[in-house]
């Protein structure tokens, strides 16, 4: 098996060894929901109230979409789809009797989970098969990919964590498929094997007698490492965002129960203000745990209209800059939304990542989380919000005007545009690739089209490109940089200009990870 970027080789395959030392971070207190146990160096969460009719065995791993770089796009989604297909096969539970276990697969930004539930014999059979798959990674060729989860504000997430499978989900591109894609998924499966000790993990059961069952009795070869923090600039910022996306704001806080509940409080405050402004809109609350930060984003339902810069500033002024005291009753109502399932979810995210945190929210903790949210707000960049860069020191994520460079015209009139995004010219500066569209005018006799002035352009930082995606039907190449900026290059036009092609190739476009536009399997 190839190294595949995970450091996997036969030399570090699982072997018998003493149990590694436990994590120095104590597991979060889950109260009456369950209890923690350890067996052979593996963490177990034993849920209370075992169900004699429905056994549960589960495994959660400290690996998610934020850990999947563009070069490995779809590896985790393909693996999850294949594991679900493999583990929910019928299993013989008696003479002439079979049972199909219920298999749920979760692929989050920072965690991957497998839950197997059903009749005891069926669950134990599927669990044994999971251990076999870890030992000899072999996946079906035709299993569908796990559906992608779309985020509210992908470009904002890029300012926190760069470009990964997490924020490429909304783009109709896919990574390597066929045998190359299966190889990436098999490498990931081997990397996740708890016995290798390469990825932190937690097992779950609702039967305490099954702690250490089967292959989980084998200790890991080493204590799984704790992943380093993802870069997170928590300063307030202004970030590009299409008006149709309906984003109001995003923010971060310390992970845990208090931040989760504070998000509901913030949602109520913003929704109430929008109602008083006459906007009868549904406000969504999206949250993403990025190990060291709880990211939350508040956006209107896409069918509920646009949100202008005036409305965004009104929310900022009332909820962030000059907030009124939050009523105790509102916090108490939000605390009631936090139940046993949320406790388990937060405990899993904290324990799998090796982070400390609280899974028992309090009113004081919620208020502290609200203060963190207000101190780290990201707003959509609009004409009305841009003054905050000078007035309040907000970071400004916008175009850097870079002088110099020649404009290379791609065609001789607007009639050659194949779609609304087709550029008329490319401009190359020291660090940028710009794709311009012009205002065209007809002049002279005979009448001919002439470019009058640029009406706007898209650009990428050519020193920070992360992916090149090809559209085989329209034959254009889309370049993506580390802030999710994109430009499209129609390759027949580039190829007809040797100087332009040579300069683009000198900037390394063919050395980038490749993606392909088209239907996602």
Three-state SS string over 400-414 comes to CCCCCCEEEECCCCH
Residues in Cβ contact with 498 at an 8 Å cutoff, skipping those fewer than 6 apart: none
Q: Which residue has the higher pLDDT, 233 or 492?
A: 492
- Decide: helix, strand or coil at residue 480: strand
Q: Give the C-alpha separation, 469 to 458, whole Å.
A: 16
Overall fold of domain 237-397: Cytochrome Bc1 Complex; Chain A, domain 1 (3.30.830)
pLDDT of the residue at 15: 41
Q: For 493-515, what is each residue's pLDDT tens digit?
A: 999 999 999 999 999 999 999 99
Nearest to 155 by CA among 377, 309, 380: 380
Q: For 137-166, what is each residue's pLDDT tens digit?
A: 888 878 889 998 889 999 999 999 999 999
Domain borders along the chain are: 26-217, 237-397, 406-517
Q: Which residue has the higher pLDDT, 199 or 143?
A: 199
pLDDT over 70 at 335, yes or no: yes
Q: For 40-79, what is each residue's pLDDT tens digit?
A: 999 999 999 878 789 999 999 999 999 999 999 999 999 9
Nearest to 257 by CA among 183, 348, 383, 327: 348
- 460 CA to centre of own chain: 21
**Does residue 491 contact residue 476 with C-beta atoms inside 8 Å?**
yes
What b/e readout covers 140-176, taking b as 16+ CB neighbours within 10 angstroms? eeebebbebbebbbbbbbbbbbbbbbbbbbebebbbb
Burial class (CB in 10 A: 0-12, 13-18, 19+), 208: middle
In eight-state DSSP terms, residue 10 is: G
Q: Give the C-alpha separation, 272 to 33, whole Å.
A: 34
Q: Give the C-alpha separation, 301 to 152, whole Å.
A: 10
> pLDDT-derived band of residue 16, with 50, 70 and 90 as boundaries?
very low
Q: Give the C-alpha separation, 112 to 62, whole Å.
A: 7
In Å, what is the CA distance from 416 to each residue of 433, 453, 491, 493?
21, 17, 14, 11
CATH number of 26-217: 3.30.830
Of 107-116, 228-237, 247-256, 344-353, least confident by mean pLDDT is 228-237
Average pLDDT over residues 352-360: 92
For residue 323, cis peptide bond before it (omega within 30 degrees of 0): no
What b/e readout covers 244-277, taking b as 16+ CB neighbours within 10 angstroms? ebbbbbbbbbbbbbbbbbbbbbbbbbbbebbeee
pLDDT of the residue at 251: 97
Nearest to 191 by CA among 145, 147, 133, 127: 133
**Does residue 27 contact residue 347 with C-beta atoms inside 8 Å?**
yes
Average pLDDT over residues 457-474: 92
Residues in Cβ contact with 464 at an 8 Å cutoff, skipping those fewer than 6 apart: 481, 482, 483
**Which phi and psi (to 5°) does residue 89 adopt?**
-75, 150
> pLDDT-derived band of residue 447, with 50, 70 and 90 as boundaries?
confident
Task: Please name the residue ranges forming H helices in 104-256.
Answer: 120-135, 154-161, 178-192
What b/e readout covers 416-444, taking b as 16+ CB neighbours within 10 angstroms? ebeeeebbbbbbbbeebbbbbbbebeeee
Q: Give the C-alpha separation, 214 to 283, whole Å.
A: 47
Give yes or no on whether 26-217 and 237-397 have one common fold.
yes
- Decide: helix, strand or coil at residue 72: helix
pLDDT of the residue at 303: 66
pLDDT of the residue at 5: 62
Q: Give the C-alpha separation, 131 to 57, whole Å.
A: 12
């Amino acid at each position: 098996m190839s190294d595949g970027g995970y450091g996997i080789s036969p030399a570090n395959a699982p072997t018998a060894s003493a149990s590694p030392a436990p994590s120095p971070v104590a597991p979060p207190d889950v109260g009456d929901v369950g209890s923690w146990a350890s067996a052979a160096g593996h963490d177990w969460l034993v849920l209370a109230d075992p169900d004699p009719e429905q056994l549960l065995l589960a495994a959660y791993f400290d690996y998610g979409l934020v850990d999947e770089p563009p070069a490995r796009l779809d590896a985790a989604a393909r693996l999850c789809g294949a594991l679900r297909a493999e583990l929910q096969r019928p299993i013989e539970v008696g003479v002439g009797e079979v049972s199909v276990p219920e298999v749920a697969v979760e692929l989050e930004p920072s965690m991957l989970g497998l839950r197997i539930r059903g009749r005891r014999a069926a669950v134990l059979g599927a669990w044994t098969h999971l251990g076999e798959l870890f030992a000899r990674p072999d996946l079906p060729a035709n299993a569908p990919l796990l559906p992608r989860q779309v985020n509210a504000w992908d470009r904002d997430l890029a300012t926190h964590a760069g470009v990964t499978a997490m924020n490429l989900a909304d783009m109709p591109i896919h990574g390597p498929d066929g045998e190359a894609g299966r190889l990436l998924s098999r490498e990931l499966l081997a990397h996740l094997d708890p016995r290798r000790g390469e990825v932190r993990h937690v097992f779950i059961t609702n039967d305490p007698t099954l702690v250490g069952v089967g292959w989980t009795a084998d200790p890991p070869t080493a204590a799984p490492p704790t992943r380093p923090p993802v870069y997170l600039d928590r300063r307030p910022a202004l970030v590009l965002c299409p008006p149709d996306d309906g984003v109001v704001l995003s923010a971060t806080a310390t992970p845990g129960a208090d931040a989760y509940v504070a998000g509901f409080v913030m949602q109520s405050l913003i929704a109430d203000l929008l109602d008083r402004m006459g906007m009868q809109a549904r406000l969504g609350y999206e949250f993403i745990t990025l190990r060291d930060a709880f990211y939350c984003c508040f956006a209107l339902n896409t069918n509920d209209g646009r949100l202008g810069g005036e409305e965004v500033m009104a929310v900022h002024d009332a909820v962030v800059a000059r907030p009124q005291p939050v009523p105790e009753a509102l916090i108490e109502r939000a605390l009631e939304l936090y139940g046993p399932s949320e406790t388990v979810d937060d405990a899993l995210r904290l324990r799998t990542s090796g982070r400390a945190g609280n899974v028992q929210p309090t009113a004081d903790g919620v208020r502290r989380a609200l203060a963190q949210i207000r101190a780290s707000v990201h707003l959509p960049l609009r004409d009305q919000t841009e003054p905050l860069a000078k007035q309040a020191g907000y970071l400004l994520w916008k175009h850097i005007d870079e002088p110099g460079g020649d404009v290379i015209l791609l065609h001789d009139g607007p009639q050659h545009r194949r779609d609304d995004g087709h550029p008329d010219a490319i401009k190359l500066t020291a660090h940028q690739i710009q794709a311009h569209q012009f205002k065209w005018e007809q002049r002279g006799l005979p009448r001919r089209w002439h470019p009058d002035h640029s009406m706007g352009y898209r650009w990428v930082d050519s020193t920070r490109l992360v992916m090149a995606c090809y559209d085989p039907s329209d034959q254009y190449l889309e370049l993506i940089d580390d802030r999710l900026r994109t430009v499209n290059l129609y390759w027949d036009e580039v190829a007809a200009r040797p100087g332009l092609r040579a300069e683009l190739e000198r900037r390394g476009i063919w050395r980038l990870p490749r993606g392909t536009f088209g239907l996602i399997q």
